[in-house]
Amino acid sequence: MKNSYHTVNPIVRIKENELLSKEQFEQLIQANSFQKIAEILTPTVYGKYLTENYQYDFEQSLNQELVQTYEELIEIVPYPELVWLYTMRFTFHNLKIITKGEKIKENYDYLFIPDGFYTIEDLRSAIQTGESSVLPKTIIQCIKEVRQYFEESKILQGIDVIYDRYYYREQRRIAEQLNDAELLEEVIQSIDLLNITTTARCLLQKRTYAFMTTVVSSMGSFDKEELLSFAQQPLSVFIDYIRQSKYGELLGPALTDKTIDFAKVNILKDNYLTKVLQIAQTQAFGPLPLMAFLNAKDIEVMNLRLIIVGKRSGFTEEAIRERMRLLYDL
């Protein structure tokens, strides 16, 4: 597999040069008007989106930029599944919002996040009919399970549980199918971190052992039964466990003796993934340089969205900085 990327990774290196620098982001944070922000972004790939009053629809423009990036990469990679491995979280997010919208007769289309593979029409049709010639069979199987669940129960949270279970399973399956040890390890680490936050939230909400069995994944490196053993125990006991785990140092800044700062955990998780993938900058072969670029582009868009929305909402520079994700070290 590694040799399959000898022509892809040079293109990825070129596209890395289109990413905004730390200096440009600092200028954006300090900008005192949207006109100044436009001046900074005009010579970049985002210049084409700077219409009059662009700040009011820039989030949609950023989605367009991501879709264009995904489509360009899908065209050049030998295994498009690699791109979907990264954007799959958006696929499952979209499945959740469309399914819930269908069930409670609400329109959540404005929450749709493009994944580069499946349109909102593709997903809605599959959810309504239980069939699709576009979606993978595993996703159709998942949709059917959700449909069957909702025939027996009207609790919306069950929809999240089923989709999340399939998401973990698909992540692990594709990572193993792509047959790259480093990529598989990155996926397992991501599942581990999600399992930690899922378990912690369950304890905080005093969820039952039975409920935790449905939401804690067995696809990571943690023994599922070991995580389930914390059911009905104080959150402080699980926090001690986290501190003693291999993720203790990483998550330490978000932990106190009795509480977890989940917003901080999310930032730490994103920054950790960025650091792990940045190692790929030194690799000439394999899929990780592509994954690193996908992550860098996603973080860039996330930070741009934060800056625009933050300034529109009157956030201070300090408030914006503390919410920003770690930038790609160009």
**Residue 101 lies inside a defined structural domain of this protein:** no
pLDDT tens string 29-46: 999 999 999 999 999 999
Can you tell me the mean pLDDT for 94-115?
A: 93
**Residue 58 lies inside a defined structural domain of this protein:** yes
pTM of the model: 0.80
Cα 25 to Cα 14, 21, 64, 133, distances in angstroms: 20, 6, 20, 43
**Number of independent structural domains in the chain:** 1
The residue length of the chain stands at: 330
**Residue 165 lies inside a defined structural domain of this protein:** no
**Residue 24 lies inside a defined structural domain of this protein:** yes
- Amino acid 321: pLDDT: 93
Is 100:128 a contact under the CB 8 Å cutoff?
no
- Amino acid 101: pLDDT: 94
pLDDT tens string 218-267: 999 999 999 999 998 999 999 999 999 999 999 999 999 889 999 999 88
Q: What torsion, rounded to 10 degrees, do the Cα atoms 309, 304, 298, 327 define?
A: -130
Tokens of 112: 């749709």
Is 257:49 a contact under the CB 8 Å cutoff?
no
**Residue 34 lies inside a defined structural domain of this protein:** yes
**What is the enclosing helix (H) or strand (E) of 189?**
helix 181-204
Q: Which residues contact 278 (CB under 8 A, 6 or more apart)?
A: 292, 328, 329
**Residue 327 lies inside a defined structural domain of this protein:** yes
pLDDT > 70 fraction of the chain, expressed in percent and rounded: 96
- Amino acid 145: pLDDT: 93
pLDDT tens string 70-85: 999 999 888 898 899 9
Can you tell me the mean pLDDT for 186-196?
A: 91
- 5: closest CA among 301, 289, 312, 296? 289
Give the C-alpha separation, 75 to 79, whole Å: 10
CATH number of 326's domain: 1.10.132.50
Is 276:189 a contact under the CB 8 Å cutoff?
yes
Cα 249 to Cα 16, 227, 242, 317, distances in angstroms: 30, 19, 9, 28
Say yes or no to pLDDT of 2 above 50: no
Residue with more model confidence, 21 or 2: 21
**Residue 63 lies inside a defined structural domain of this protein:** yes
**Residue 235 lies inside a defined structural domain of this protein:** no
Residue 5 gets which letter from DSSP? G
- Could you list the residue range(s) of the whole structural domain that residue 14 is in? 1-79+287-330
Tokens of 138: 């595993």
Cα 330 to Cα 31, 208, 287, distances in angstroms: 22, 46, 19
Say yes or no to pLDDT of 194 above 60: yes
